[in-house]
Amino acid sequence: MKLVVQRVKNSNVVVEGKVIGEIGQGFMVLIGVAPTDTKEIADFLVQKLIRLRVFEDENQKMNLSIQDINGELLLISQFTLYADCNHGNRPSFIGAAGPDMANELYEYFVEQCKKQNIKKVATGEFGADMQVSLQNDGPVTIILEKN
């Protein structure tokens, strides 16, 4: 499982011209699932995400978590995080989980995030053509993985 975590001032996701998820300050997270991923890996990454201390404290040090700032989450599924471009210029996505497994773990990840003390958890739509907008704060972008 691979997460691309962006600290944002705000973010939203649009499907077919309609905003289906939006947040204020917090994390916009792209989530990729590999065939070897499990619920245990998802649980580990949920905890890592909510404890990630990248929001500034009163001394302008990155020392606060999303829970500490009462932040929000926008969770977007993205199989292209497992693109392999080592051979040629057209990516191979053989390293990504199939749609059924990926959707199951994505939905599990979302549900586990909702069980945490997070102000708001918004999502995209699995498998849809989505337009994601964000105002990156910092910018701060971190990749979290658990193989």
Catalytic residues: 78-80
Residue type present at position 64: L
Let me know: does 74 contact 83? Beta carbons within 8 Å: no
Query: What distance in Å separates the CA atoms of residue 7 and residue 49, rounded to the nearest whole number?
Result: 11
Cα angle, residue 9 at apex, residues 110 and 54 outer, rounded to 5°: 70
Rg of the chain over all Cα atoms, to the nearest angstrom:
15
Question: Is the preceding omega at residue 99 within 30 degrees of 0, hence cis?
Answer: no
Pairing outcome for strands 130-145 and 120-123: unpaired
Rounded distance between C-alpha atoms, residue 30 and residue 49, angstroms: 12
